[in-house]
Amino acid sequence: MSDYTIRPFRQSDRDSLLACFNLVFGENNPEFRPRTAEEWSWAFEQNPAGQRIWVADCDGEVVAQYAGYPYRVRCDGELVTFSQILDSFAHPDHRRGLKRPGLFVQTGLDYLEATTGPGKDVVTFGWPIEEANRLGERYFNYEVVRTQLLLGRPVGEGPTDPLGLASESLKVEQQERVTDEVDALYERCSQGWGASVIRDSTYLNWRYLDNPFFEYRVFGARDASGTLRGLFVARTGDWLTPDVGLLMDWLVPYDDHDAADVLHEAFLASSRADGAQSLVTLFPEWCHWFGHFQSWLWTAYPSDLLTVGRQAHRWDMDYLRENWWYQLGETDLV
Amino acid sequence: MTRAAALETEEFSRAECAELFSERSPAFWSWAFGPEEDGVVARVCRDEEGRVLAGLAALRVPALVEGQEASLLQVVAAYSALSGLQREGRFVRVAEDFARSFGGTAPDGAPLAYGVPTRSIWRIAKERLSAKVMRTQDVLRVKLNRLQLPASGDCQVEEVAEFPSEVDALKLRQSEQSAIVCRHTVRALNQRFVGTPFGEYRIALARRAGVLVGYAVFKVGQTEFGQRAGVIWDWCVPGSDALAGLSLLDGLAARARSELISELALVLPDTQPDWVALQKVGFRVHGSKLVVAARHFPRQLTMRWLYHNFCYSLSDLVLEGPGELYE
């Protein structure tokens, strides 16, 4: 039987880890595009909230990984971290290593033991496929936060230039970089959000504008005094159906109807310009925008997505279901 | 410290249930047991002096699971006399005995125990009793002034005092279209909705050329803002018969307006075709406090399978309310 060491990632593991990652996720997947060093670096070295990688080492080679993206979160007024579990795997030749519960599960258990709890990641979450969720429920105490609905609608006819849209007092702009002025906007928006990833410039630039996987665009609405009144992030791609306009992030105060109207129209216009046929987004049902988007002719659809979480401090899944603001941007799906 | 004796397994009378599960009224238990005293299954844990420490009771709900007749267990009452870990331990013992006694594979055992647990019971159930979330339940709601019925349905709608015998055939059609569905007979429906301890329900039937094609049951409730709402407790329109659904809505809306009701509310699984269709005529989806949880006994009845296949109405989930509908 092989000897395994389960431990935090070291820089010297990178090439071995990437090779194993590409082998595992490329297995029986002809559409798989190997992950590059640049993409890996963005995901795990440049994340402003830190790094969460545990590996299983066998004779100097990485043969399993349990990893996550940490996020800085304001939860009940406290600054804490959540982490999204993703990109976790075990090499096919080593899956039975350690016998029960197996190398993958043991790597995950060590990860969770080391990184979660009061003063560490207080919640881990994700959108696992059914098989991974079964493992998560059985071994990692994962629970369902929500059987996830998505909002969708056809794009419809209309303008195709988002920058040409304006109300009497607002102009739409595309932002090449998000600046610190977004902090005040997040403060306004997050009133009433029990828990949310802190949407500051550091996070938004890393998540979207520095992202090597996809090209996202950020649009803002600014008034005559120069104040940023709202912002959204979008991209068009194939997800669930071809040519979908994806509204990734929507940062608009619930009571700013002017900004909401003009930014919604700008999203429609940018999606039309990108050739999108339909639109998809995600809001938690408790929030104002879940209802408001329905008044803009969005329909709520069931999905196969399960939003799951693991409690590591006092915030349980009931709390998250009723208080946690998250959107497509928090997922690794799009 | 009180020590628990062996779990009791005797038959439970409606009077004993009324005494034990006092959060529900004697009238409730009389209704739940039904005329033949077989509508409820229950288990309790007693101390050495015979005092009940914890208990669990469920309604037997006849159902079809992939075409096979079965009983589902709709958990309707849970009781514990103790607090803290002692409470948890006793309750777990009762629930495990309950599962061994009544859960299993049809036709001998119930393949599924489900319900909408309170938070304190849910905490124990998920951690120690293998219960899982089947669905976080949303509610379809429409303000009557926003209900946009594009064309009248082609059915006649009438309000009746009780269900007619043709409903059995309608329910059979419904059950042929869902892999798992509660199979309420006319007798059971009349027991559930006519002369119940839960208030006054209105039964609306839709007929096309004299043939029954759908029904709805509604009752006046109150929204979180104190407005009168028509809560649709049962909605049965087999085959996604859009025109029959429109006719029923038209009839319900007319009735609701006459009673100064401002909105209709309906609970359906989001995986049912009607769920999207109803949004097209003005219903909007709202979050709720309802979490449908279950414990399955045959391995193949996973929560994802149930999520996609279990067809139910509000009356299959909760017995009273509608407080849970509104956040």
What is the ipTM, given to two decimal places? 0.93
Q: What is the mean pLDDT of chain A?
A: 95
Does residue A260 lie in a domain region?
Answer: yes
Q: Is the pLDDT of residue B10 over 60?
A: no
Regarding whether A292 and A158 lie in a shared domain, the answer is: yes
Regarding whether A182 and A87 lie in a shared domain, the answer is: no
Q: Do A144 and B133 touch (CB under 8 A)?
A: yes
Regarding whether A156 and A298 lie in a shared domain, the answer is: yes
| Separation of alpha carbons B112 and B281, rounded Å | 34
Using one digit for the tens of pLDDT, what is the confidence trace for B244-274? 999 999 999 999 999 999 899 999 999 998 9
Would you state the structure tokens that stand for residue B44, as one six-digit string?
């309790």
Q: What is the mean pLDDT of residues A261-275?
A: 98
Cα angle B77, A134, B115; round to 5 = 15
Q: What is the mean pLDDT of residues A213-239?
A: 97
In this complex, the residue of B134, B136, B279 whose CB is nearest that of residue A321 is B136
| Separation of alpha carbons A144 and A307, rounded Å | 6
* Domain span at A244: 150-307
Which pLDDT belongs to residue B223?
76
Q: What is the CATH number of the domain that holds A223?
A: 3.40.630.30
pLDDT band of B1, cuts 50, 70, 90: very low
| Separation of alpha carbons A218 and A234, rounded Å | 7
| Separation of alpha carbons A210 and B67, rounded Å | 54
The A residues from 139 to 178 touching B (CB cutoff 8 Å) are 143-147, 149
Which pLDDT belongs to residue B35?
65
Does residue A135 lie in a domain region?
Answer: no
Residue type, A30: P
Q: Is the pLDDT of residue A273 over 90?
A: yes
Is A285 an 8 Å CB contact of chain B? Answer: yes
Which of A136, A58, A110, A47 has its CA nearest to residue A83? Answer: A47
Residue A212 DSSP symbol: S
Residue ranges of domains in chain B: 3-130, 139-292+305-317
Regarding whether A195 and A116 lie in a shared domain, the answer is: no
- Tell me the shortest Cα–Cα distance from A90 to chain B, in angstroms: 25
In this complex, the residue of B136, B271, B279 whose CB is nearest that of residue A146 is B136
Question: Residues for chain B: how many in total?
Answer: 327
Is B327 an 8 Å CB contact of chain A? Answer: yes
Regarding whether A218 and A121 lie in a shared domain, the answer is: no
Which pLDDT belongs to residue B19?
75
CATH number (3.30.450.40, 3.10.20.30, 3.40.630.30, 3.40.50.300) of B139-292+305-317 reads: 3.40.630.30
Regarding whether A97 and A42 lie in a shared domain, the answer is: yes
Regarding whether A154 and A303 lie in a shared domain, the answer is: yes
User: Could you confirm whether domain B3-130 is CATH 3.40.630.30?
Assistant: yes
Residue of B138, B263, B283, B310 for testing the chain A interface, max A β-carbons within 10 Å: B138
Regarding whether A161 and A285 lie in a shared domain, the answer is: yes
SS3 category, B122: helix
How many structural domains are present in chain A?
A: 2
Regarding whether A275 and A157 lie in a shared domain, the answer is: yes
| Separation of alpha carbons A42 and A326, rounded Å | 21
Question: Quick one: CA dihedral B28, B33, B34, B35, positive or negative?
Answer: negative
Regarding whether A114 and A167 lie in a shared domain, the answer is: no
| Separation of alpha carbons A31 and A245, rounded Å | 22
Using one digit for the tens of pLDDT, what is the confidence trace for A104-140? 999 999 999 999 999 999 999 999 998 899 999 999 9
Identical topology for domains B3-130 and B139-292+305-317? yes
